[in-house]
Every structure is written in C-alpha cells, then in structure tokens.
Structure 1
Amino acid sequence: MPDAAHRKHGDMPAPQPDYQMAEELVIDDLETLKVIADPLRLRILELMHKPQTVKKIARKLEMTPTKLYYHINLLEKHGLIVLVDTRIVSGIIEKHYLAAARGFRLASALLSPGETGESEALVITLDGLFAGTKQDILRALRQGILQPEHEQPTRHLKFWQGGLHLTPEQAQEFYDRVEALWAEYLELSHQQRDSLPECQSYQTLYMLWPSLYEHDSED
C-alpha cells in the first residue's frame, strides 16, 4: 500500500488538533472487533497514548514503516485512531495519530451466542488476547526484560489459574475490589507514564467468569 503521506493534500481527512482521548470506546460491530483483535494493531494502539507518527511507531516496534501503513489505515478507517496533526517534513506530509480512547470495551450484545450457541465476537476476542499475550511474554523473555530467576520478583512472570467457590454476593465483591484496584493503578500509570523514566511497562490479563467446573469438596 502506498505511503499515505504521498496522497494529494485534498484527499486527506482533516486533522483534529483539539481531539481529547475518550476514557472508553465501545466496540459494537464485528469488523471493528476483527481490526482491534490483531496483536500488532493492539501494540500500535498502546503506543498511541500520545500523538505518534508511523515512523516513530515503526522504530519502537523494530519494523519498517511500509509494513505498518495497512494497519494504520485500518485503525483510522474504523475510528480507533484519530489524525490530530500534519506537518511538512522535507517536502513530505508527516501525519500524527492518537488513540481514540484509553480503553476499549465490547458491547454486551456483540457477545451474545448465535444459532450455534457460540459467540463469534468472543472467539475473535479470546484468540487475539491469548495470541498477543503469548507473543509479548516470549518477546520479553528473549530480550531479557522478563527474567524468571532474577532476584527482584517484579522481573518475574506472575500468573494464577484456579477456581473459586463463591456466593453471588462474594463474587460481586471480588469483582468490585479487583476492578477498583485496576482503576487505581491505571490512573497512576496514566499520570506518570511519560514523567518517570524508571517506570517499567507491565502487561496484565485478568478474566473472571462463571464456570461449569465443579470444585472438589471434602466429605
């Protein structure tokens, strides 16, 4: 795909320099979900917490810009990123993009099971989440950021998997406390992301769902 910077000036969407990221964007169609579920596009979105050019994103991802234009165009087409500025650099129009929101959520209706009893949207989401998580963990391990035997526990991989036998009230309390803790540290992360160079990026994947598995109990 040709570089968008080489299109005629009149063909480009107008930049929105005053655009402010929304706290949350609800995804309510399968096509947009398929776009955002791609692990590479999720990484691009994470890097666009502040205005970025394709060239800067490519450098951070250790890729060539030409490999990103297709993904950038898809993200922009589906309203997941916003063009906020254009500048002329060495005679070429340089575009600056910003993520449309800090977070993205699936509309509940999109997760409803179809005639087969499964939700295509949920399958797409789970595939994207697990594939992206696996790629990121292995990349961190290869580059030495993740060190399972390091003396500092914060360099380790932490994960828990298991069942909880709870009443509906206890499950709601558990959910509320985890959500509140997540919101607290997410806000802290936003505040210091670009101001404290000693900060390390951490990824989390938290899931809670009612399960068909029965838990063993002692007689």
Structure 2
Amino acid sequence: MARNDAKSTESAVEVELEATLPLGPQPLPELIEFRDIDDAATMKALADPLRQKIMRALGRNVHEKARIMTVKQLAEELGEPTTKLYRHMKQLLAVNLIQVAELRLVGGIVEQHYRVAQKGWGVHPERPATDRESPLSEELLGLVGAGVEDYFTRYEAALHSGRTYAHPQDNLEHPPYIRSVGAICDFRMPRERAAEFAERFHGLVEEFNSEVHARGADSVQVNLLTFFYATEPDDASDD
C-alpha cells in the first residue's frame, strides 16, 4: 500500500507542477549566461544543500550542453528518494532557477524533463545586509550556510573515496598531482595589512572565477571555498 501511495503522490506532484504545458519540447529562451541573485525569494530557494546539489547536477557541463533530466534520473544520480525531490524541484521552479524543458507521456503519466535556466549564478544583494533581522540577511546567511555544508559533505566524500587527500604532500604524490591548500585562521593583523590582503585575495578570486570551463584530458575538477572578513576587536579579544 505504501508503495502505491508513493507512486500516486509522485504522479500528483508532476501534474501539479506543470499541468498546463503541452506535451513535447517546450519553447524555452536561450540560457542566461550569468544570473545575479539579489532577492530574498531566490536566496531562500538556494538555502538548502539538496537544492544546491540539484542545481549543480543539472548545471554540470552546461557551458557545452545543457543537461535535461527527469526527477528519477536526478534522484538516482544524487542517491536520494525520488519522492523527496519533488518539493525541492517545485521551489527551484518557482524562482525560475530551473525550467521544464520537455513533457513526455510515459505509461499514462506525464513525465517532466528539467534543465537549468542559466549557465552560472552568483549572489549579489541589492544592498549591504547590515540589518541582521531583515529577511534578505536571513536568506543570504541560509544560502551561504547551505553552500558550506554541501562543500564539506563533498570534501568528506572525496577523502573517503581516495579522490583527494588531507595532507598536501599526499596530493602531490597521487593524480592529478596538485597540492591542496587550506587554512582556518582567527588572529589579529595591522589594519593596512588586512586591507592589502583583502584586495589581493579579491583579485585572485576574480581571476579564478574568470577561468574558462575547460574540458578534455588535461583538465581537472577544482573545488574552492573562500571567506575573508575583518571585524573590530570585541571586549574579549586578546591584545
């Protein structure tokens, strides 16, 4: 009985999502090259590690060709139950981060095929999120938190599978023979030195982000998580 109920729920959600669209490929516009996300609703849609995984799966190799996948295909790739993904797909659809690319009639059920709506995205709030009580600030923090959680989940998986190593020397001794670099720091430095470091770091990140999405035998997958911020010392800080 539970299995039949799950199938019924799955079918009902599919019909609910796109009941008004005709069967076949959908007349979609060209993919947006880059989407600046500056609204709370879209940030909220991305404030979940699983939804970020969905976006990354659909966006894989999008600079060559957009992937078009069903929820079942996504669930198999992500190792998640199919029924769990529908709510997340609906939230991504609501803010046009993903789109229905095609509808097919399979076994009497309308099957949706999805794609991303943009080749890349980044977060650029309309104003500084200085009010910690504002919805924009809350959603921005939620998005960043989900991204950090997703990043370290993938890093842990890479370590366990032997695709990377915790010690830099081990990485230099195994393919692709590239050092891993990381630091978690909390200390004091002169204000001018901090400002100089921030500008240099910003330039390096901008250079990194501008790299062409390369493919081929000589390319490697890289993963980067960066944060640098300065604050005035609090009363408990040591001199």
TM-score by length of 2: 0.68
Q: What's the CA shift for 1:42? A: 0.9
1-structure distance, mates of 2:224, 2:82: 28
What SS class does the counterpart of residue 185 from structure 1 fall into? Answer: helix
Closer, same or farther: CA 178–161 of 1 in aligned 2, 3 Å = same
Q: Choose which of 58, 63, 73 in structure 2 pairs with 1:48.
A: 58
C-alpha contact 2:102 2:112 (8 A) present in aligned 1: yes
C-alpha contact 1:146 1:156 (8 A) present in aligned 2: no
In structure 2, the partner of 1:201 is: 221
2-structure distance, mates of 1:188, 1:56: 30
Q: Choose which of 61, 72, 77 in structure 2 pairs with 1:60.
A: 77
Q: What's the CA shift for 1:174? A: 3.6
What SS class does the counterpart of residue 75 from structure 1 fall into? Answer: helix
C-alpha contact 1:82 1:100 (8 A) present in aligned 2: no
Closer, same or farther: CA 55–188 of 1 in aligned 2, 3 Å = farther
In structure 1, the partner of 2:202 is: 179
2-structure distance, mates of 1:200, 1:136: 16
Q: Given the alignment of the two structures, is residue 158 of structure 1 paired with residue 158 of structure 2, yes or no?
A: no
Gaps of 5+ in 2: 1-8, 60-65
Cα RMSD of the aligned pairs, angstroms, is 3.6
Q: What's the CA shift for 1:75? A: 0.5
Closer, same or farther: CA 187–115 of 1 in aligned 2, 3 Å = closer
C-alpha contact 1:25 1:100 (8 A) present in aligned 2: no
What SS class does the counterpart of residue 10 from structure 2 fall into? Answer: coil
Aligned residue runs from structure 1 range 126-141, under 5 A:
126-141=144-159
Q: What's the CA shift for 1:25? A: 2.0
How many correspondences in the alignment?
A: 210
Q: Choose which of 89, 96, 104 in structure 2 pairs with 1:72.
A: 89
In structure 2, the partner of 1:107 is: 125
2-structure distance, mates of 1:43, 1:129: 9
Gaps of 5+ in 1: none
Q: What's the CA shift for 1:46? A: 1.7
Q: What's the CA shift for 1:80? A: 1.7
In structure 1, the partner of 2:10 is: 2
Q: Given the alignment of the two structures, is residue 15 of structure 1 paired with residue 29 of structure 2, yes or no?
A: no
2-structure distance, mates of 1:197, 1:6: 42
Closer, same or farther: CA 151–114 of 1 in aligned 2, 3 Å = closer
2-structure distance, mates of 1:152, 1:23: 33
Over the matched positions of the two proteins, sequence identity in percent amounts to 19
Worse overlay, 103-112 or 65-74: 103-112
